[in-house]
Chain A
């Protein structure tokens, strides 16, 4: 009698565990069907493309240069255009930021403009100096930097320009590139002809 009870109890416990595990089990994802299948990630914050549209003030000719990393961070390296500018000329620059993983592409620079008081775009030219004027401001009268005017120096040379978009929330924005965290840091080669 005792033995039967013992045996019953053990069996009962094992069956109970088995049922417990089965009921709460985790369905596999098969052929894209199942509750554990991954949902496509909507990377709302992703910037894949940095575009500079430069208008030569003398000729009104517009050229667009881009820095594209379509697969995001990691994976393939970005494809970068070289910027060609004429010495002594002035250029009106428009910065356009896109998420081209979306279709149609999402224009992130529109959001940057909407949250102008939390963003700042800096341009760092190296090794030559470019005199830069900001043509747009936020509600606090601090520079934004989506629209700028570049005065190219008078000697032909080569170098780089780095476009830096900073997210500067919580009132840290002070009109410089220093505070905040970096959303974009894209370096273009520059040829001054």
Chain B
């Protein structure tokens, strides 16, 4: 008798609207891989909720009204063994499983395409599908603000970088396409060079995750996965168009993918591209001169994928030109104070798309080759080789024809990872990784020395799973060699550093019941001081302060413990994530009280120092679904960050913030309406940012701005357009057009924040 092979295709259409609604559906087919015939009347149901359906005579089925979350999907067909699949909704828009089903080996489930990785023991949150596409046109930092615990560190609206649990830059790792994003990430006004439109899914992992991803992942990791290559023969594509009223920004983004047929079936490719242009931002009362942005990005990938091996090549280019608000260009402290005391900036402007100096010109190239091999009875071995080239040019309003600061950093990484097959209750991942980096700077101002940097590491993570428990432990060792080449007059000054340390992690998941899960993790991470922290010596562009590094700085060590309580029942979804983060040798910029006299006037002197620090906080999200039409959601984040040596507060920590939303889904009773405007929703949200009152000493030039509340509206629906899946979303931010300034925005010294902004977005998949 031939062993029957099963092929189950489960396609998940993620069509949620407000983050985490019960409007998802799971559609797919159950097929016999041998004959290709659908298996009629297979029953498919969700274990946790009891929702279920029978496949039709062709093997197709659909499950609707699913909430976001992790589920066990049970598939059963007469005469066959019942199978369970773990599915996260709406993690993927398409998931394909192929199942080898034998009477002898019931546990051999081979997951084709990308496996659903086991849940991390750190706290995880996702953004994908419509939650991402409806934010099109926003910066990555702004999009991530949807996730409780993330705030945006901004330089106006066009430059924003994510702050996770109070930490950013060198303490928060961004993994783009499985490659560490390496650029000039130390800078507060250096936003991640990533096109959010290229992301199929964004995962935020809170908790020290240095073991798997290497040092620097102290606060956590932001993982950006591109759209996956198509897994069955044929074409696919999508188009996304969006417009914003405030900056008159337009964006167009498209994606096309193809998988060949026949002998060439393993070959698939994809192209994705984005064009974006916006003009001057408008506050409620005035335009901000020179705040436009122009961006052109693309990515190209091709892969050869077989059941047990695959290779992939990928190339992407990100290019942006960002204007820096003319009114923020200051020469000294007097200018800064004058700007702060004025009710509106001296530089006035109308609307324009023109970008003049000062501005940033940034190009980021990523080339990657990836291969995996599944070794029978052992596991999967994979290799990623990547090269990144990042160019950053900052132009001043003086001599705009040459950049005043220019950095070019080349980074090469290699990661070799082995995931061994499950053995009894154990599964695990072991790996080696290496990185070489060279940073060169030039321009008409001197700020940082050149440097080369070599890093090597080895890690192992093992996970034990039994009944309601999953426990995980990991250990990693890293070595870093850093050599800097600075200038003293015309002489080259070389400094060499060797850092090495061990990172560790212990965590677990306890499934108390199908509704209640506890996830906990305690991890240790470290990082070597950044070159800016060691050697900066001069005026920071735009900041009226002299920043002086300390070349004797020690490495920073951190311990983070995080616990997530996850409760999901019929009407409720509650996630509460408290954490404690302790730092030894926490590096920060401390005011010294000294004043340095220069030709440009007197400047306060700040020096990089180290202290013991403790960050405690709590993120939460709660949703109550009253009935199929009404839903209430609230989320928030609170952080307390102490400098333990000075017994004061740390600087630059996001204040307490809360978002509340009410959503109404009409659920048309009229069949025609339902047909043409399915999954329509309306939502009102209120974002409440409190004043940062926890400030000590002379850390800042101006008092923290007042707290504020912003009212927003969102509406969306799906339209069946030429039998394609299309959706239309409309949103309005700062509906009441209030004047406010945000503590985490560097432009708060100079101008109000953005006024009312209406966003319209349309996307279609084919």
Contacts and interface: CB of A to CB of B under 8 A. Distances in A.
B25 interface: no
Contact of A24 (B387, B396, B441): B387
Contacts of A38: 440-441, 449-450, 485-487, 492
Given A26-B453, A29-B450, A2 B376 contact: yes
Interface in A59-88: 67, 69, 72-74, 77-78
B434 A21 contact: yes
Contacts, number: 170
B398 A9 contact: no
Contact of A69 (B356, B436, B546, B599): B599
26 contacts: A2-B375, A5-B375, A6-B375, A9-B375, A9-B381, A10-B381, A14-B416, A17-B432, A21-B412, A21-B434, A24-B412, A26-B410, A26-B453, A29-B452, A37-B485, A39-B442, A41-B444, A42-B444, A48-B599, A167-B331, A169-B397, A181-B329, A181-B397, A184-B599, A185-B332, A185-B334
Interface in B339-380: 346-347, 356, 371, 373, 375-378
A167 B400 CA distance: 13
B446 interface: yes
A182 to B, nearest CB: 3
A95 B332 CA distance: 20
A157 to B, nearest CB: 24
**Nearest 9 CB-CB pairings of A with B:** A182-B331, A185-B601, A26-B438, A17-B414, A181-B331, A24-B412, A41-B446, A26-B452, A29-B485
Contacts of B416: 13-14, 17
Contacts of B78: none
A20 B347 contact: no
Contacts of A184: 599-600
Nearest to A31: B492
A123 to B, nearest CB: 15
A179 to B, nearest CB: 5
Contacts of A21: 412, 414, 434, 436
A185 to B, nearest CB: 3
Interface residues of B, number: 70
B487 A36 contact: no
Nearest to B387: A24
Contact of A182 (B335, B346, B492): B335
Contact of A13 (B331, B381, B598): B381
A25 interface: yes
A92 to B, nearest CB: 23
Contacts of B378: 6
Contact of A74 (B385, B432, B440, B596): B596
Nearest to B598: A73
A44 B399 contact: yes
A104 interface: no
Given A26-B453, A178-B338, A183 B548 contact: no
Contact of B440 (A36, A69, A185): A36
Q: Which of B437, B546, B601 has the most CB of A within 10 A?
A: B601
Contacts of A169: 397
Contacts of A24: 387, 410, 412, 436
B605 to A, nearest CB: 8
A25 B412 contact: yes
Contacts of B490: 40
B371 to A, nearest CB: 8
Interface in B377-425: 377-378, 381, 383, 385, 387, 396-399, 402, 404, 410, 412, 414, 416, 418
A40 B600 contact: no
B399 to A, nearest CB: 6
Contacts of B600: 73, 182-185
Given A29-B492, A169-B397, 9 more contacts: A20-B412, A28-B483, A35-B440, A38-B485, A43-B445, A48-B599, A49-B599, A78-B597, A180-B346
Given A48-B599, A69-B599, A77-B597, A181 B444 contact: no
A14 B385 CA distance: 11
Contacts of B402: 44
Contacts of A36: 438, 440, 450-452, 485
B693 interface: no
Interface string B599-643: 111010000000000000000000000000000000000000000
Q: Which of A6, A16, A74 has the most CB of B within 10 A?
A: A74
A103 to B, nearest CB: 11
A142 interface: no
Interface string B319-336: 000000010011110110
Interface string A152-193: 000000000000001101101000001111111110000000
A145 B436 CA distance: 53
B592 interface: no
A47 B445 CA distance: 12
B542 to A, nearest CB: 10
A158 B82 CA distance: 97
A129 interface: no
Contacts of B438: 26-27, 35-36
A37 B486 CA distance: 8
Contacts of A28: 452, 483
Contacts of B383: 13, 16-17
B355 to A, nearest CB: 13
Contacts of A43: 444-446
A167 B398 CA distance: 8
A73 B452 CA distance: 27
A127 interface: no
Contacts of A181: 329-331, 335, 397
Nearest to A68: B599
A11 to B, nearest CB: 11
B565 interface: no
A50 interface: yes
B713 interface: no
A129 to B, nearest CB: 20
A33 B616 CA distance: 48
A182 B490 CA distance: 28
